[in-house]
Amino acid sequence: MKFYFDILGGRLLEAFISSFLASKVLKDISFSHDVNIHLISTVNPSLNIRVPFCRFQCPFCLFVNYPYNEAISDLYVKAVKRELKLYSTYIKESTIENIYFSGGTPSLISNRLGDILNCIHELFGFIGNVAIEVNPLDLNDETLSRLVNTGINQISIGIQSFNSGVLEGIGRKYSSEVALNAVKKAMDGGFDYVNIDLMFPLPNQTVSSLLQDLEIAVKLGVHGISTYPLMLLPYTEMYKQLKDRSVNIKKMEKEMYMLILDYLMNVGYDVRSIWSFTVKPGFYNGPFEYDEYLGIGPYAWGIIDNSFIINTPLLEEYLVMVKKKIPIAALARFEGEKSMIIWLSRSLYHGKASKTEFYKRFKVGLDKKFKWLIYLMRLSGLAEWNADSLRLTRKGLLYGSLTTKKIVIGLLMKMHKATGYYPPL
């Protein structure tokens, strides 16, 4: 009887911790339309430049993107340069640390990225890496050469799966062969870091086919593998297709996450974040993982000076608004205890939270401030102290994934509401 009680009690405690952290983070992010950019300061931020164009709308995508159009993309590039110019008046004497072109599909405007990078060099200077997200369909020799010659040294390829049946089930308009060739070309293309994105659990996907995806990625020698859980929001086409299977999907998601974690760690990949693994630690960050970064472009967001800033979401509004001012639609400010819980959640997303870093930032001990939360995490086997850091265990990484997914879904819905952006249901 005690055995079953321990199992049930443990699961209840783990679920409680997950729900508590997610709800606490979401509660502490409260958006306002009263935006005063003069009160915000930052030094040497990174940039997340969102390119809102796609070849087609994927049924699982959490954002509505725009079909590529050369004339409109020219207007977009001019608007981005104008937004960068506006920011240059607020962050004087700063250089840009890293740049990430996120999507949409930035590779669709590969011929214009040099204009944006030149603008950044002129306005701020630049000291770090330049990364880009790409669609496998765009990776021909000409585009790869253009990206490298432009100064882009890191690339993340949205593979999602190497299985043609799975790709067909999620509406990706390329085959397994195209996906394989795209990665091979990128590995030989002169980039310092090649990352691929995989997803789970997907229609037509099995544990066996996911394992095959991982084995292929490792055999190809990619430096990083990001594995993102499927997120079903009510306005996505895939939600309508799979909403009656949500219970089975949740069960499969846990099994698949543990497979990903165990397999990649066993073959020599380190945990870079809850959803990302690497053989080159400390060399690459995703677009939302920098300590401080500005969001540039329509529905781009950033975190600077304890503020979560979202740009106006619609492209047509962005093109007009940026002619007059920085196109911010909403801002959430977090200070004091709010700032601490946000910092803790962002740190644990990378698998650990440093006591030294926490004290340096907040002048109070991590183990003192979150005494009971840390006690419960250790009691339930989700975390343990390892030298200076509170580290998530194997089980802790699983529940960290489930918690992060709750936060992302909840945050996106709050962002949509705050900006007046309601994708079609």
Residue with tokens 């979202």: 310
| 74-84 mean pLDDT | 98
Angle between helices 394-419 and 2-28 (to 10 degrees): 30
Separation of alpha carbons 179 and 194, rounded Å: 14
Torsion of CA 385, 390, 393, 398, to 10 degrees: 160
Separation of alpha carbons 178 and 164, rounded Å: 10
Query: 317-326 pLDDT, tens per residue?
Result: 999 999 999 9
Query: 123-141 pLDDT, tens per residue?
Result: 998 889 999 999 999 999 9
pLDDT at 299: 96
Q: Per-residue confidence at 42, pLDDT binned at 50, 70, 90?
A: confident
| Statement: residue 338 has pLDDT above 80 | yes
pLDDT at 7: 47
Phi-psi sector, 139: left (phi>0), alpha (psi -120 to 50), beta: beta
Q: Per-residue confidence at 1, pLDDT binned at 50, 70, 90?
A: very low
Residue with tokens 């590039």: 77
Q: Per-residue confidence at 235, pLDDT binned at 50, 70, 90?
A: confident
pLDDT at 2: 40
Portion of the chain with pLDDT greater than 90, in percent: 82
Query: 394-404 pLDDT, tens per residue?
Result: 999 999 999 99
Class of domain 13-29+335-425: mainly alpha
| Statement: residue 415 has pLDDT above 80 | yes
| Statement: residue 378 has pLDDT above 90 | yes
Domain residue spans of the chain = 13-29+335-425, 37-278
| Statement: residue 159 has pLDDT above 80 | yes
Class of domain 37-278: alpha beta
Portion of the chain with pLDDT greater than 70, in percent: 96
Residue with tokens 């996911």: 210
Query: 343-376 pLDDT, tens per residue?
Result: 999 999 999 999 999 999 999 999 999 999 999 9
Query: 184-206 pLDDT, tens per residue?
Result: 999 999 999 999 999 999 999 99
Query: 7-19 pLDDT, tens per residue?
Result: 445 678 999 999 9
| Statement: residue 3 has pLDDT above 60 | no
| 36-49 mean pLDDT | 84
pLDDT at 4: 39
| 382-387 mean pLDDT | 96
| Statement: residue 6 has pLDDT above 60 | no
| 223-232 mean pLDDT | 96
Q: Per-residue confidence at 301, pLDDT binned at 50, 70, 90?
A: very high
Q: State the sign of the Cα–Cα–Cα–Cα dihedral 165, 170, 174, 179.
A: negative
How many Cα atoms are found within 13 Å in the side-chain-facing hemisphere of 343? 22
195 within 8 A of 181, measured Cβ to Cβ: no
Q: Per-residue confidence at 34, pLDDT binned at 50, 70, 90?
A: confident
Q: Per-residue confidence at 45, pLDDT binned at 50, 70, 90?
A: very high
pLDDT at 37: 73
